[in-house]
Structure 1
Amino acid sequence: MEPITIIVGLIALVVGAVGGVFYGRNQLLNKQRTTGQSLITEAEAKSKEVLEQAGHQANQVVDDANQRAQSKLDEADNNISRRRRELEQEEEAVQRRRIQLDKRMDDIERRSERMEQREQQLNKRQSALDRKANDLKVQEDEQIEELQRIAQMTLEEARTSVLEAAEKDARNDMARIIRQVEAEAREEAERRAREIISMVVQRLASEHVSEISVSVVSLPNDEMKGRIIGRNGRNIRSFEIATGVDVVVDDTPEAVTISSFDPVRREVAKRTMEKLVTDGRIHPARIEKLVTDTQVEVNEMIREEGESAAYVTGVHGLHPEIIKLLGQLKFRTSYGQNQHAHAIETAHLAGMIAAELGANVEVAKAGGLLHDIGKAIDHEIEGTHAIIGSDFIRRYGVSDDVVNCVAAHHHEVEPTCVEAYIVEAADAISGARPGARRESLENYVKRVKMLEEIANGFEGVEQSYALQAGREVRILVRPDEIDDLGALELAKNVAKQIEDTMQYPGQIKVHVIRETRAIDYAK
């Protein structure tokens, strides 16, 4: 509480007391007027007592106020003293920091002076180095001019000569290293491949019989030809319309030939013709009935053959349409090899190779079984059998890896899994085994001639020979036009062009020979 407030309170208390006294006195006077002079004396005594009490209380209030004011003043003095000490400490800290900053500024100035001195020294050294570099450049130019004068060759000509020599040495070293690495890799790969292939072939041990689907129906006698033709040719026309084939009745004794691009139609027609010849009743109604019965019979046999192939190879879950096409391969041959048996054998080979290499056996088997399925319908759809087959099985939910195995086994698309390479190898093994396939003399001569034409079409080739029934082409090159590295590139380019432009069973070895001969005569 402030001293002024206390004083005002005391004055108010005194005034109130005085007023009360006067008020009481007046009241007493009025009363005493009626009660007597004795009461006045009593009232004065009481008022004096009240005044004394009021004065005593006022003194106490004043003393309390003074004590409180003094304590507040003491507390304020203490706060002021503490704040003054804090300010003095802060001022001392600021002074110390100022001294430290001054020292740092002095250090920075000294360092700056030293840096300027070093910079001046570096500039002097750089100037000296520049002068020395100019002197060296002048000496180098003089030496180059002297060397050019002595060698009678310009700098560019010397550089070109050195680069050519270095390039030649590098190419020779590169060719030697490439030959060494390729020889080591080829030796190891061939050893491992021979082991796997020999083991797989021994485990399979399947029989190979060259089959040719010849649609020729034997007749008991030549008189049967007239009955087959019928009056005015009605029987043969009905037969051709019902079966969709062409019947050739020529001078071949006791035989007629059935021609059709569709092997299933040809088989239906052949069986129907055999039944008609055996039965002896040949007329349009009988022909239509036997054709219908034979179609049902052949379709059932196709389904059974497809299911048998899937069961034997362990490939399950195939769509019925895929099973149907798989069975139709029974009537399809390639180079005399039955494609149904070829598909089964390829599946077995691919599965065993995949097991040896740690690949997916199921994918390899499925890819091997279905790799030539497009041949069953390639006469109906335009395109290669690999692409046709892969598109067909993709529509029926076959996995992407198996589809890639089918599409990539003739390198028409890029293989995306190791099983595709395995299926390609198994297909080559199945087709290249002795007795597996055969081809006509005309195709053989054409292939051999084409091999030599491809080899002779490259620059630097002197002669080329097709050997081993067209399974190897030997190329002699001019050594002054093709070096060792060029011989390696030529072998790869010829092999690539053969793969792109020719169709052949198995593989063809490209053998490039570069030979340098030095000949002299003693006279």
Structure 2
Amino acid sequence: MYIISLSVSIILTAIVGIVAGCFIQNRVTAKRLGDAKDLATRIINEARKEASAQKKELLVQCQDEILQQKKAMEIEYREQEREIKNRERKVQDLTERLDEKIERVTKKEDEIIAFEKEQAAKERQLAEKEAELQNLMDEQERKLQEVCGLTVEEAKARLFQEIEARTRHEAAHIVRVIETEAKENADRKAKEIIAGAIQRYAGDYVGEQTVTAVPLPSEDMKGRIIGREGRNIRAIEAATGVDLIIDDTPETVILSAYSPMRRQVARMALERLIQDGRIHPARIEDIVLKCEEELDIQVREVGEQATFDAGVHGIHAEIVRLLGQLKYRTSFTQNVLQHSLEVSALCGMMAAELGMDVKKAKRAGLLHDIGKAVDHEVEGSHALIGADIAKKYGESKEIIHAIAAHHEDQHPETALAVLVQAADSLSAARPGARKELMESYVKRLEELEGIATGFDGVSKAYAIQAGRELRVMVNSDNIDDDRAYLLCKDIVAKIEETLTYPGQIRVTVIRERRAVSFAR
């Protein structure tokens, strides 16, 4: 029984514990649910407050933007209104000026009409006087015919015949004397002037080359210039248009190109790359662009210095730039800018001797080869190209004609054009002024001798004096003295027609007849 009662009490205790546990669990669950509801309510309230604040902030921003747009619209409206008023004022001014012009034109028309009426009246009076004068002349002619028994035409013819016969002989004598004296004096004076100009001007000569040597700080720099798989050297050649020659020459790189301007850009770029030390394709392109810009500035400075040295002012800025480019142009290795300065100086000296305008002569001499700055870009003779450039930039007609005629592209019609021709020939033909490559030099001599030997009766021909003189030996049995003179003229014409050469070529035809005998 005790065990049974103990078991019952344990069971009751367990039931009570279970009931109490359930009650406690329900209380805890109810409390958690209440806390969760309070938390949710708080979160919702905070979210509503934050949404309300954002809504107010957005409304404020929208109002600000609307105000700014309104202000901008008002400013734009005021500007448009101001512009419309300005245009209305301009239109009103134009209308007033137009009215004034119409009024002036009307007055001019009235004055012209009055002047025409006055002229018509004067013309009528003049016609009446001419009729009266003609009547008087007819009366006088009739009286003269009655006195001398000759008509007017017969008297005129006889008088003209006597005057012509008397003056023809005198004129022929005077012309012959004048021509003889003029030839003697002109030849002597021309030689004096040319000799004096050459003696007074003695410029240095610098033979222009087609290669430029750039020194390197060390042999290792050659490898950096070449770059990995040759990318640096290819980038330099592509950017500058210049061939880089890297050979066994110690600490030296050779730049080869026919264009001196390209060689100059390449030299400047390579020196800067060597000094900077950063050599790669992107850096090479940047340096080349900067060097091209600097060279353009230098070209303008060179042109300005050339005009200052020649004493020529008031030249258009574009022509000054083209003059600077001539420093980087050569003709038979003669620097074209130096040649132009020489021609300017020679023109000025000879113009002073002849009593001509020295400044105009110097200007024509300085600009005579300006076409060579662009003749590689424009088709045609550099003389005609230069004349077009001078005309475009406002040079006078005399200067334009002198430029166009200095190589006989136009016939020289002024003394200034002939002066520029002479000075150009002097500067180009002086010994040492120009050089040629050996191949072209030998080829020119062979062509010169070939032209002479191509004529009938020529036995031998020799080009001497570096191609400036051609001596032709003819067969005396086939060619007489008169034909030798004509042959010389024909050879000169053929040379002028087929060859290109600096200066002039003297042709001497020699006809020799020898009589040989022996005394025994």
TM class by shorter-chain length? 0.5 to 0.7
Rate the CA distance shift 1:184–1:485 in 2: closer, same or farther, 3 A: farther
Give distance in 2, aligned partners of 1:330 and 1:415. 28
The answer on 1:226 being equivalent to 2:223 is: yes
**Matched residue SS, 1:215:** strand
Q: Say which of 335, 355, 366 aligns to 1:358.
A: 355
Give distance in 2, aligned partners of 1:516 and 1:183. 33
Please say which of residues 369-378 and 246-255 is displaced more in the overlay: 246-255
Residue pair 1:415, 1:421 contacting (<8 A) in 2 also = yes
**Matched residue SS, 2:379:** coil
- 1:139-169 CA distance string (max 9 Å, x none): xxxxxxxxxxxxxxxxxxxxxxxxxxxxxxx
Q: Say which of 235, 252, 256 aligns to 1:255.
A: 252
Give distance in 2, aligned partners of 1:380 and 1:282. 33
For the pair shown, the structure with the greater C-alpha radius of gyration is: 1
The answer on 1:325 being equivalent to 2:319 is: no
**Matched residue SS, 2:214:** strand
Give distance in 1, aligned partners of 2:388 and 2:245. 36
Residue pair 2:332, 2:435 contacting (<8 A) in 1 also = yes
Give distance in 1, aligned partners of 2:497 and 2:180. 25
Q: Say which of 393, 412, 417 aligns to 1:415.
A: 412
- 1:9-60 CA distance string (max 9 Å, x none): xxxxxxxxxxxxxxxxxxxxxxxxxxxxxxxxxxxxxxxxxxxxxxxxxxxx
- 1:419-478 CA distance string (max 9 Å, x none): 222112111211222332222222221222111111112222222211222111111223
Amino acid at match of 1:379: H
**For residues 27-46 of structure 1, what are the structure 2 equivalents within 5 Å?**
none
The answer on 1:371 being equivalent to 2:368 is: yes
Amino acid at match of 2:290: D
Amino acid at match of 1:419: L
The answer on 1:276 being equivalent to 2:273 is: yes
The answer on 1:466 being equivalent to 2:480 is: no
Q: Say which of 392, 401, 405 aligns to 2:402.
A: 405
- Using structure 1 for the length normalisation, give the TM-score: 0.60
Residue pair 1:364, 1:420 contacting (<8 A) in 2 also = no
Rate the CA distance shift 1:187–1:210 in 2: closer, same or farther, 3 A: farther
Give distance in 1, aligned partners of 2:288 and 2:219. 23
**Matched residue SS, 2:211:** coil
Residue pair 1:354, 1:361 contacting (<8 A) in 2 also = yes
1:101 alignment partner in structure 2? none
Give distance in 2, aligned partners of 1:197 and 1:345. 13
Give distance in 2, aligned partners of 1:503 and 1:304. 33
Give distance in 1, aligned partners of 2:195 and 2:238. 51
**For residues 186-197 of structure 1, what are the structure 2 equivalents within 5 Å?**
191-197=188-194
2:391 alignment partner in structure 1? 394
Rate the CA distance shift 1:220–1:185 in 2: closer, same or farther, 3 A: farther
Give distance in 2, aligned partners of 1:505 and 1:189. 25
Amino acid at match of 1:389: G
Deviation at 1:245, TM superposition (A): 3.4
1:487 alignment partner in structure 2? 484
**For residues 122-271 of structure 1, what are the structure 2 equivalents within 5 Å?**
191-271=188-268
Give distance in 2, aligned partners of 1:470 and 1:382. 29
Flag the structure with more relative contact order, 1 or 2, with Cα contacts below 8 A and sequence separation at least 6: 1
Residue pair 2:472, 2:508 contacting (<8 A) in 1 also = yes
2:434 alignment partner in structure 1? 437
Deviation at 1:187, TM superposition (A): 7.1
Deviation at 1:190, TM superposition (A): 5.1
The answer on 1:292 being equivalent to 2:289 is: yes
**For residues 494-505 of structure 1, what are the structure 2 equivalents within 5 Å?**
494-505=491-502
**Matched residue SS, 1:342:** helix
2:381 alignment partner in structure 1? 384
Residue pair 2:214, 2:254 contacting (<8 A) in 1 also = yes
Amino acid at match of 2:366: L
Please say which of residues 305-314 and 494-503 is displaced more in the overlay: 494-503
Give distance in 1, aligned partners of 2:285 and 2:204. 39
2:308 alignment partner in structure 1? 311
Rate the CA distance shift 1:472–1:185 in 2: closer, same or farther, 3 A: farther
Residue pair 2:406, 2:421 contacting (<8 A) in 1 also = yes
Deviation at 1:340, TM superposition (A): 1.3
- Using structure 2 for the length normalisation, give the TM-score: 0.60
Residue pair 1:217, 1:274 contacting (<8 A) in 2 also = yes
Please say which of residues 215-224 and 345-354 is displaced more in the overlay: 215-224
Residue pair 1:333, 1:339 contacting (<8 A) in 2 also = yes
Amino acid at match of 2:228: R
Count of aligned residue pairs for this structure pair: 343
- 1:200-250 CA distance string (max 9 Å, x none): 123223333333352332223332222112223332333334334343444
**For residues 27-66 of structure 1, what are the structure 2 equivalents within 5 Å?**
none
Q: Which runs of 5+ in 1 are unaligned?
A: 1-180
Give distance in 2, aligned partners of 1:326 and 1:399. 18
Please say which of residues 268-277 and 384-393 is displaced more in the overlay: 384-393
Give distance in 2, aligned partners of 1:292 and 1:361. 42
Deviation at 1:506, TM superposition (A): 2.2
**Matched residue SS, 2:440:** helix
Deviation at 1:354, TM superposition (A): 1.9
Residue pair 2:259, 2:329 contacting (<8 A) in 1 also = no
Rate the CA distance shift 1:194–1:481 in 2: closer, same or farther, 3 A: same
